[in-house]
Amino acid sequence: MPFKALKLSDSVLRGVQAAGYTDPTPIQLRAIPAVLTGGDLIASAQTGTGKTAAFALPILTRLGNHGRVRVLVLEPTRELAAQVETAFHDFARFTDLRTVAIFGGVGYGHQRTELKRGVDIIVATPGRLMDYLKERTISLQDISILVLDEVDRMLDMGFLPVVRDIISRCPRERQTLFFSATVPPEIAAVASFALRNPTKVEIGVARSVVASVNHALYPVAAEQKFDLLEALLAKIEFDSVLVFSRTKHGADKIARRLKAANHSVAVLHANRSQNQRIEALAGFKSGKYEVMVATDIAARGIDVAGISHVINYDVPEKPEDYVHRIGRTGRAQAVGDAFTLVTPENAGDIRDIQRFIGAKIPELRLEGFDYKAFAARPQQAEPQRPRGSLPGQIRHKGSFNRYRGRR
Ligand code: AMP
């Protein structure tokens, strides 16, 4: 079914066309009609499934023309708020609807100016939004659509109390759209507080790994992790690589060592200033940095078109983060690779991840790498890769640019 059949307004359809989308993704097919009816929605969808457009397009259609602040979208991180606001802004380019992103770590000036000009849609992180609510710069009295996005991550970040406060400041008569990859009891409580008789949309198995990602484990001794990372980077043909570290300190350390090894590296974690975070992400998107080292919170939901590889330098703490991390590559039908370095201490975590995703992740060894502690392990040959470029093959960067320019 094409987008045209989905009863979106003409100006929104033009925005979709300009974005280069031809066919709706499964979550868009299911969620768009549900949102257009005006009812509540609770959805679990994998990252990279087209979730943003699934709510943005019907919301823009429902709003029609410029008026008061009628839509509030809450996001757990600044990067996500910026990204989702950009998506709304792009899809709305043939309408007179106005959007603003509200998040901390930057000055108030620009945000205040935009608010004064009058906006229809606010995409915000909870903390900075509360500042404006307390000083009464923003009123939520006309909110008719509330979107709570990535609610499980809001829980992780300790935002749930303030999210509840914000929900209770919105009118009772409203449409609420609720997105969460997982629904543990705390989140179920917020859902029942926020939603009325919601339509449920579950896309695929919320736990599955995006089908277009080839993923593999690389067992290694703890003291050889960095050497293996370097060896992998030297061997694989990549456009851009996102490296995950469990800790901020670890991310800084990896970045320092990669820089010393002449890689162009960006770092993204919560202790960096907002300007540093913006610069890191923009530089990674533009290709200025070939590697970005990030922690989970900073990287959640981030959409960079050209990520060819995700490398988990550290095994994620929570099984669902494995799915989120490797969902950073292979987004929207592109092919990506995701490698996880595993030390013997990670055996339990890997078991949990495999149970969570319901699949066994193949174990690989990097040919030519001088393994110290794993020499005696049974070996498995590196599998044939469908796109015909074995990790050992090196091509000139940019010779295989299937990612760039997709957005
Ligand atoms: P999201 O899950 O919303 O972060 O979207 C993931 C990526 O898929 C983004 O780069 C979107 O621009 C892209 N995308 C979303 N919907 C479509 C579609 N129907 N066709 C092609 N690309 C899409």
Q: What does the pLDDT look like over 184-199, one tens digit per residue?
A: 788 899 999 999 999 9
Q: For residue 363, what are the β-bridge partners? A: 217
Contact assessment for residue 245 and residue 314, using Cβ atoms and an 8 Å cutoff:
yes
Query: Which class for 185: exposed (0-12), middle (13-18), buried (19 or more C-beta within 10 A)?
Result: exposed
Residue 388 lies in a domain: no
Give the pLDDT confidence score for residue 331 in this predicted structure.
Answer: 53
pLDDT exceeds cutoff 50 at 373:
yes
Question: Does the CB atom of residue 316 touch ligand 1 within 6 A?
Answer: no
Specify the ligand 1 atom closest to the Cα of 51. Answer: 3
Specify the ligand 1 atom closest to the Cα of 305. Answer: 10
pLDDT exceeds cutoff 90 at 89:
yes
Using CA atoms, how far residue 346 sits from 75, 353, 404, in Å, is 31, 11, 34
Do residues 140 and 234 share a domain?
no
Structural domain tally of the chain? 2
Question: Does the CB atom of residue 304 touch ligand 1 within 6 A?
Answer: no
Do residues 259 and 157 share a domain?
no
Q: Whose CA is nearest to atom 1 of ligand 1?
A: 50
Do residues 89 and 164 share a domain?
yes
CA angle 289, 295, 296 (to 5 degrees): 120
Give the pLDDT confidence score for residue 186 in this predicted structure.
Answer: 86
> Of the ranges 204-213, 253-262, 284-293, which is most confident?
253-262
Do residues 179 and 237 share a domain?
no
Query: From ligand 1's centre to the CA of 53, what distance in Å?
Result: 7
Do residues 228 and 84 share a domain?
no
Q: For residue 268, what are the β-bridge partners? A: 294
Question: Does the CB atom of residue 95 touch ligand 1 within 6 A?
Answer: no
Give the pLDDT confidence score for residue 390 in this predicted structure.
Answer: 34
Question: Does the CB atom of residue 52 touch ligand 1 within 6 A?
Answer: yes
Final residue belonging to a domain, choices 142, 174, 202: 202
Do residues 236 and 184 share a domain?
no
Lowest mean pLDDT of 13-22, 28-37, 271-280, 387-396, name the range: 387-396
Final residue belonging to a domain, choices 183, 202, 221: 202
Question: Does the CB atom of residue 48 touch ligand 1 within 6 A?
Answer: yes
Expressed as residue numbers, the domain containing 322 is 213-374
Query: From ligand 1's centre to the CA of 51, what distance in Å?
Result: 7
Contact assessment for residue 77 and residue 298, using Cβ atoms and an 8 Å cutoff:
yes
Give the pLDDT confidence score for residue 41 in this predicted structure.
Answer: 97
Above pLDDT 90, what percent of the chain? 62
Whichever domain contains 45, its CATH number is: 3.40.50.300
pLDDT exceeds cutoff 80 at 143:
yes
Question: Does the CB atom of residue 312 touch ligand 1 within 6 A?
Answer: no
Lowest mean pLDDT of 15-24, 43-52, 68-77, 158-167, name the range: 43-52
Question: Does the CB atom of residue 321 touch ligand 1 within 6 A?
Answer: no
Give the pLDDT confidence score for residue 320 in this predicted structure.
Answer: 81
Q: In the structure encoding, which two tokens stand for residue 168, read together?
A: 């209770």
pLDDT exceeds cutoff 70 at 49:
yes
Query: From ligand 1's centre to the CA of 331, what distance in Å?
Result: 7
Query: From ligand 1's centre to the CA of 201, what distance in Å?
Result: 17
Q: Whose CA is nearest to atom 5 of ligand 1?
A: 50
pLDDT, averaged across the chain = 85
Question: Does the CB atom of residue 328 touch ligand 1 within 6 A?
Answer: no
Query: From ligand 1's centre to the CA of 297, what distance in Å?
Result: 21
C-alpha Rg value of the chain to the nearest Å:
22
Do residues 80 and 101 share a domain?
yes
The helix or strand, by DSSP H or E, that contains position 265, with its residue range, turns out to be strand 265-268
Locus of tokens 């060592």: 257
Report residue 269: phi and psi, to 5°: -155, 170
Do residues 58 and 85 share a domain?
yes
Confidence of residue 213 (pLDDT cuts 50, 70, 90): confident
Q: For the segment 91-124, what is each residue's pLDDT rounded down to a tens digit?
A: 999 999 999 999 999 999 999 999 999 999 999 9
pTM of the model: 0.67
Q: Whose CA is nearest to atom 12 of ligand 1?
A: 407
Do residues 50 and 165 share a domain?
yes
Give the pLDDT confidence score for residue 396 in this predicted structure.
Answer: 28
Lowest mean pLDDT of 138-152, 216-230, 235-249, name the range: 235-249
- From the CB of residue 404, how many other CB atoms can be counted at a distance below 10 Å? 14
Confidence of residue 333 (pLDDT cuts 50, 70, 90): very low
How far apart (Å, rounded) are the C-alpha atoms in residues 199 and 27? 13
Residue 269 is given by DSSP the state -
How far apart (Å, rounded) are the C-alpha atoms in residues 332 and 305? 9
pLDDT exceeds cutoff 90 at 46:
no
Give the pLDDT confidence score for residue 176 in this predicted structure.
Answer: 98
Final residue belonging to a domain, choices 202, 227, 250: 202
Lowest mean pLDDT of 4-18, 160-174, 359-373, name the range: 359-373
Q: Whose CA is nearest to atom 17 of ligand 1?
A: 50
Question: Does the CB atom of residue 300 touch ligand 1 within 6 A?
Answer: no
Looking at per-residue pLDDT, the higher value among 182 and 389 belongs to 182
